Amino acid sequence: MIEFCPLLATDFERIYPIEQAAHLEPWSPANLLSCFGPRYLNGLMLHDGQPAGFYISDLVAGDSSLMNICVLPALQGKGLGWALLQEYLARSKANRAEAWFLEVRASNHKAIRLYERAGFAEYCRRDGYYGTGNAREDAILMSRLFDLD
């Protein structure tokens, strides 16, 4: 069973293992903990009562930026990421979001497909934004400027 609830700073210990397992370059604890406060809208997904994924977003003057979304690797590919993204879109809309923005690694085809299916489209690329040295890759900036529902 999947449930959603607001993600609080006090959930940090429960979600940081997901951050570390899911991402190529996980955020530091300090970076993640800096994303709590009035302008942030963060959500936690529970699968059979256990943390399975989360998102971090900020919401300023109707613009919502999805800064982080991830699902525990063992539970990926089962529709949970889609459910989490839909929950983020619905909850931010209920909090008066009118436009949605995110950025993603150019090689992250799974996430890009997921975002495109949810109505996001590329509007800009940042060359060599991610990585270091020769192992650099572009960031793709995507937006969803209209409500599709």
Active site residue 115: yes
Active site residue 116: no
Name which position in 23, 39, 96, 136 contacts ligand COA (CB under 6 A).
23
125 in contact with ligand COA (CB under 6 A)? no
Cα(67)–Cα(40) distance, integer angstroms:
10
The nearest distance, CB 87 to ligand COA, in angstroms, is 12
Contact 58, 101 (CB under 8 A): no
x/- mask, ligand COA, residues 59-78, rule CB under 6 A, reads: ----------xxx----xxx
Please check if 108 is assigned to a binding site: yes
Annotated catalytic residue: which of 16, 40, 87, 103? 103
Active site residues: 103, 115
